[in-house]
Amino acid sequence: MSSEDKIKLLSNVIKYMFETEVYLRVQELLLLSPSKSSVHNSIP
């Protein structure tokens, strides 16, 4: 594997991780925004 391939792979992994992180954050915000109290009440 050449260093170029490694760099390409690494940047893809970072991009994927970043997109996943953003997606999870958005989901979290969407869950929290409609009614915070009901979400907190459902957590044991």
What are the tens digits of pLDDT across the range 1-44?
Answer: 899 999 999 999 999 999 999 999 999 999 987 665 555 555 55
pTM of the predicted structure, to 2 decimals: 0.54
Query: Quick one: pLDDT at residue 33?
Result: 76
Q: How far apart are CA 12 and CA 19, in angstroms?
A: 11
Query: Quick one: pLDDT at residue 1?
Result: 83
* CA distances (Å), origin 31, targets 3, 16, 19, 27: 42, 22, 18, 6
* Extents of the domains making up the chain: 1-31
Query: Quick one: pLDDT at residue 17?
Result: 97
